[in-house]
Chains A and B, each alone.
Chain A
Amino acid sequence: MNKIVGSKDFLEFAYELYHTMQANEINLVYEGVVTQEITKTFTALTEKNMVKNEESNQVQRKVFNVMVECLQNISKHADAMTEDADEERRGIVLVSHGENFYNVITGNVIKKEKRDKLEKSLEHINSLDKEGLSALYKQQIKEGKLSEKGGAGLGFIDIAKKSGNKIEYQFKELTDDRFFFIVITTISRNN
């Protein structure tokens, strides 16, 4: 993609972005470092929007829930583009809604070696029904240990449980040893 250089190009870009966001009913877009502060700010912002739109409590809670898990996944598991330990863990976050659903979309860089395990785990989660997810959740909460980064290994199971929909995901190859990992979670509005 070409870089935007001049201020005129940038205005064009901002204008197009505005239109794209309006057309797709995108409530929130962010690209950058994901910290606990960012997580709190975005979830609070989205909550406020949902209250304004008189969204049901149940849907509000589900969207909040999925956002927290997705954002904390990035802050705990995103990899940097290089092996430099100090390089920031970044990600993209996008929240959109239509008449019947909310979408929470996140993307972040991961190392190639994580892909297989992640894909297997997501395939398994997507193969389960409500009871199956509940059983897997109980097994993992009993047997799992909190990782050094404070992860419980429950994030995607919980996202699938709360959303009630299959988790969509994709891995796009960035370099020889890095993928861009995209997750789309859909929360239905009329349960």
Chain B
Amino acid sequence: MDVISIKGTDDTPSVTLDKDKGAFIFEGRSLPEDVGDFYQPILNWLDAYAQEPNDTTDVMFKLEYFNTASSKVILDILLKFEEINEAKGGVTIKWHYHEDEEDMKEAGEEYEDIVSEPFEYIVY
């Protein structure tokens, strides 16, 4: 499978999606005005990955900040992982948040209420 490796900017996160290495990473800031342009290739990649996922899929979210438009797309991403988890199992969302940032922890908990895959919280 193709590897997605996007370097972060001041308004888009760095993203690594690598099936062979088992790396599924979203890190940094996400506040693009048009989230579609940035996230569509990522959602397409996840559709393809869902066809033949690894036995375990540990997804790392280490976001510093995201705007509300991104929050909607992040839910779409989590829903794709939920589908994979329902079909094959093995998905864990590892939600990282800075020790000073209760809001980011709460954002993770709100997603956890909506989707069914397991969440682990990691403070940094």
Residues of A within 8 A of B (CB): 36, 39-40, 44, 56-58, 61-62, 64-65, 68-69, 72, 75-76, 134, 137-138, 141-142, 144, 146, 150-152, 154-155, 157-158, 161-162
Q: Report how far A162 CA is from B65 CA in the complex, Å.
A: 12
Contacts of A36 in B (CB 8 A): 11, 32-33
Q: Does B36 contact A (CB under 8 A)?
A: yes
Q: Digit string of B101-122 for contact with A (CB within 8 Å is 1, else 0)?
A: 1110010001001100000000
CB pairs A–B below 8 angstroms (24 shown): A56-B100, A58-B102, A62-B103, A68-B67, A69-B67, A72-B31, A72-B33, A72-B69, A75-B33, A76-B33, A141-B114, A142-B114, A150-B33, A150-B34, A150-B69, A151-B68, A151-B69, A152-B68, A152-B69, A152-B71, A154-B68, A154-B71, A157-B68, A162-B103
Q: How many A-B residue pairs have CB under 8 A?
A: 75
Of the residues B68, B73, B101, contact of A57 by C-beta under 8 Å: B101
User: A62 vs B101: C-alpha distance in the bound complex, in angstroms?
Assistant: 9
Let me know if B36 and A61 touch, CB within 8 A.
no
Q: Mark B73-106, 1 if CB is under 8 A from A, else 0.
A: 1010000000000000000000000101111001
Contact A150 to B35, CB < 8 A, known contacts A57-B98, A144-B72: yes
Secondary structure of the A contact surface, majority rule = helix
Q: A150 touches which one: B36, B75, B100 (CB < 8 A)?
A: B36
Tell me the complex Cα distance, A134–B32, Å: 23
Question: Whose C-beta in chain A lies nearest to the C-beta of B64?
Answer: A61
- Asked whether B2 is an interface residue with its Cβ less than 8 Å from the other chain, the reply is no
Separation in Å of the B98 CB from the closest CB of chain A?
7
In this complex, what residue of B is CB-closest to A146?
A: B72
CA distance A189 to B33 in the complex (A): 28
* Min CB–CB distance B78 → chain A (angstroms): 11
Q: Cβ of A134 and Cβ of B110 under 8 Å apart?
A: yes
